[in-house]
Amino acid sequence: MITRGKSGIFKPQVFSSTVDIEVVPSTVKEVLKLPNWVVAMKEEYHALLANHTWTLTQPPQDIQPIGCKWVFKTSTMMMTPFNVTKLA
């Protein structure tokens, strides 16, 4: 049996010739200086409110509330021509 590999038929390898390096902020102070991150934060916050993800209540006196943390990252999808700023 003759396979494509034995016949010298291979799928072409695709390499990206453009490199888009974006600095991912590590603190909220850095994020607030970058307009695209501020927009992403506002979109995420409004989505949380619209989905009724949480409600603010007073904690019981004997309970210590847990903290929360924003995680900033850039998602690059292979099929899109742009980087997407996301909060996770």
Type of residue found at 3: T
Q: What is the mean pLDDT of the chain?
A: 75
Report d(CA 66, CA 50) in Å as an integer: 23
Percent pLDDT > 70 in the chain is: 72
Please write the tens of the pLDDT for every residue from 16-57: 555 555 667 878 888 888 888 888 888 888 988 899 888 878
38 part of a folded domain? yes
Evaluate whether 24 touches 31 at the Cβ level (below 8 Å). no
Total number of domains in the chain: 1
**9 in any annotated domain:** no
**Burial class, 67, CB count within 10 angstroms (exposed 0-12 / middle 13-18 / buried 19+):** exposed
pLDDT of residue 85: 56
Range of the domain at 79: 26-50+68-88
In a domain, 59, yes or no: no
Does any domain span residue 18?
no
